[in-house]
Copies of this chain bind each other. A is one copy, B any other.
Amino acid sequence: MGELTVLGLGPGAPEKRTAEVQHALETADLIVGYTAYVDPLRAELPEKRFFTSGMMKEIDRCRLALEAASEGKNVVLVSSGDAGVYGMASPVLELAPQFPEVQIRILPGITAALSGAALLGAPLGHDFAVISLSDRLTPWEEITRRAELLAEAGMPIVIYNPGSHSRRGYLKEICGILLEKLPADTPCGMARNIGREGESAEILTLAELAQREPDMFTTVFIGDRTTRMLNGRMVTPRGYDV
């Protein structure tokens, strides 16, 4: 009986991988994933078998990984960050009933909300929400409605997929919605290429963020009314009397 391990690599740098993820990669018969995330592993694990393909091929990759596992192979399916957050864990589990002979385990990884937060300071010290601005799989009206309710709920928001070449102006529209509920000087942050070459972090106000066009390698953090800029870092207090 085969086993499929769906795992998150974390932000990219090997030192941000967990030990169990590292072990799963090293003992796999086949490593499957999106080309851009998996190609950097080839140099590290030269003796391994890999299957990679491009964007929009997610479901094909899940199927291929399940099929290889059903043939008795020990297969690893790779997501960047955490496999459970906008990653491959949920489509694999949706397909799983078609492959009852495959054992599936999910290994967590450091998602960009956590790695980006650490780079910026501590923007998620209390309650928070995570949303994606990609409208490839979610209607845009649903996304804007969520942003509105979250601003009302008064908690920091982490934004994945804030923009791309084909999705310009999305973040601007969201910032416009948030500016109706939050002060213009609400601290915000952008973390780019986290754990990769060219890593950068920037702290700016919500009004300034509304003028930006971040790309798909950027994770955006929006503070709430308690968030402060302290020594160049973005900090949401938990509420301790310090």
Which residues of A are at the interface with B, using a C-beta cutoff of 8 A? Answer: 8, 10, 13-20, 22-23, 58-59, 62, 82-87, 89-97, 106-111, 114-115, 117-119, 121-132, 137-138, 142, 145-146, 149-150, 152-155, 230-231, 233, 235-242
Contact = CB atoms under 8 A, between A and B. Distances in A.
Tell me how many chains of this kind the complex includes. Answer: 2
A103 B241 CA distance: 23
B16 A15 contact: no
A137 B240 contact: yes
Nearest to A93: B235
A107 B119 CA distance: 8
A219 to B, nearest CB: 12
A85 B108 CA distance: 16
B231 A93 contact: yes
Contacts of A107: 118
Contact of A117 (B23, B84, B121, B231): B84
13 contacts: A15-B18, A15-B23, A18-B110, A62-B242, A84-B117, A86-B125, A93-B231, A110-B110, A127-B130, A127-B146, A129-B129, A137-B239, A149-B150
A115 B111 CA distance: 11
Contacts of A118: 83-84, 89, 106-108
A82 B115 CA distance: 10
| Among all A-B residue pairs, the 4 with the closest Cβ atoms | A90-B125, A137-B239, A89-B122, A90-B122
A129 B130 contact: yes
A114 B129 contact: no
Contact of A15 (B20, B59, B62, B237): B20
A126 B134 CA distance: 11
Given A93-B121, A108-B16, A122-B93, A114 B84 contact: yes
Nearest to A8: B114
A122 to B, nearest CB: 4
